[in-house]
Structure 1
Amino acid sequence: MSQHQEPKIPDSIANEVLQKASELYAQSNTQGYSLTELQEIGEKVEIPAEIMSEALNQVREKHRQLQIIKEKKEQQLKIIKLSSFILGILITMATIFSYNILNSQREEVKARWAQVENQLQRKADLIPTLINLTQAQANQENQLILLLENARQEYLKADNFQEKLVSTERINEAINQFNQYALNNHNLASSQVFINLQYEIAGTENRIATERMRYNQSVQRYNQSVRSFPLSIIANLTNFQEESFFQANI
């Protein structure tokens, strides 16, 4: 039968145990040292077994507490990393969702403006008929014809929102002058072509008013999103700008 062996104390704590044992031994000796005792200690330090055992227990308890603290810190670090990862995912999803909302509303504004442009174009396309009527009834009215032609050309050359609105005002002025001219020209005002044209103009005005209303509603929704938190943050980061309302009198 093999002889029972005591467990070995690891080298990593052996020095610490000896130091602690020395401290405990020094604390337990309250009588002081004689010269002979100091000489003997100088030759060889003898520490009682019970003090050595107590020192070992205290060192082991210290290391156990340090390990517990270390494990708690590691667990806290894991929780922080996981929380940061989840938060990052949520922020990314919120950013994508907000961007999609803004982009969708901006595209709706563009689509509504396209419908307005369709009707404005329809109105501009009526001008050649007005010109033909004017030429047929009174060749001397070159100034009115020139006004109508210039108004239409200005609209066709316009390539942005503000230019479209300004050129539309020019078309309105030209059509208003034509209507005034027609009222003073009995033959023109009573012709079936002119009467049909007046119906066409009135119908176009109604369509423009409807599309203008829809466009402005879309702009209002979009602009509110651009100004509202947290979408306003995404709007600033991704260069979403507020759109202008269609306020022209047509």
Structure 2
Amino acid sequence: MEYIVIGAVILLVLFFIAQYNRLIRLNITVDEAFAQIEVQLKRRADLIPNLVETVKGYAAHEQSTFDAVVTARAKATSATTIADVAAADGALTNALKGLLAVAEAYPDLKASANFLSLQEELSTTENKVSFARQFYNDTVRSLNTAVKTIPTSFFAGFAKVDARDFYEVENPTDRNVPGVKF
């Protein structure tokens, strides 16, 4: 009888440790996923000055478009919370769409090897940002599911792990393509 009680206590302790460790691992994975988003956004922010300068050489009269990109980039590089990073990311994406729309109006620019290289690098980076966002949201879903379902929900407070916000870039009503007028 004594061995059964000891065995049951050991099983409960092992179960507790397993649930606690699972929550901690999920929490770390979410932090890592957000860090990957920031890495890709930094990469994109580093490409933007070169892209702006390249386009500026061909379309000097598009100053408001350049200003919008530079302002959005500044906000994106200074954001810290998930909501602020997501909002700044969305604004920067829209500003870049406007910049690339301006570039479409200049055939010489579109044929420039430097511009094409920067555009390809930006496109690759956008794909990486998109993947990083999706990975983050997948890990947040896993963490939130664990935090809100039994039995791990009993251990969330003890592990000091809370549900996290999803990474949402834009408001669904703001999905219009920016207009460019000459």
Q: What band does the TM-score fall into relative to the shorter chain?
A: 0.7 to 0.9
* CA distance, structure 2, for counterparts of residue 238 and residue 195 of structure 1: 49
* CA distance, structure 2, for counterparts of residue 167 and residue 131 of structure 1: 18
Structure exhibiting the larger radius of gyration computed from Cα positions:
1
1:133 Cα shift? Answer: 1.4
| One of 226, 229, 239 as aligned partner of 2:150 | 229
Equivalent runs, 1:26-65 vs 2, <5 Å: none
* CA distance, structure 2, for counterparts of residue 175 and residue 130 of structure 1: 10
Query: Does structure 2 conserve the Cα–Cα contact (< 8 Å) formed by 1:134 and 1:141?
Result: no
Letter in 2 for 1:160: T
Q: Which residue of 1 aligns with 2:178?
A: none
**What SS class does the counterpart of residue 80 from structure 2 fall into?**
coil
Letter in 2 for 1:192: A
Q: Which residue of 2 aligns with 1:242?
A: 163
Letter in 1 for 2:150: F
* CA distance, structure 2, for counterparts of residue 211 and residue 148 of structure 1: 22
Equivalent runs, 1:1-250 vs 2, <5 Å: 83=5, 90-248=11-169
Letter in 2 for 1:224: T
Structure 2 gap ranges (5+):
176-182
Structure 1 gap ranges (5+):
1-78
For this pair of structures, how many residues does the alignment match? 170
* CA distance, structure 2, for counterparts of residue 142 and residue 214 of structure 1: 36
* CA distance, structure 2, for counterparts of residue 206 and residue 138 of structure 1: 27
Q: Which residue of 2 aligns with 1:43?
A: none
Q: Which residue of 2 aligns with 1:15?
A: none
* CA distance, structure 1, for counterparts of residue 62 and residue 145 of structure 2: 50
Identity fraction in percent: 27
TM-score by length of 1: 0.61
1:89 Cα shift? Answer: 5.3
* CA distance, structure 2, for counterparts of residue 212 and residue 173 of structure 1: 17
* CA distance, structure 2, for counterparts of residue 247 and residue 109 of structure 1: 15
TM-score by length of 2: 0.81
Structure with more contact order per residue of length (Cα contacts < 8 Å, sep ≥ 6): 2
Letter in 1 for 2:144: N
* CA distance, structure 2, for counterparts of residue 210 and residue 163 of structure 1: 19
**What SS class does the counterpart of residue 194 from structure 1 fall into?**
helix
**What SS class does the counterpart of residue 16 from structure 2 fall into?**
helix
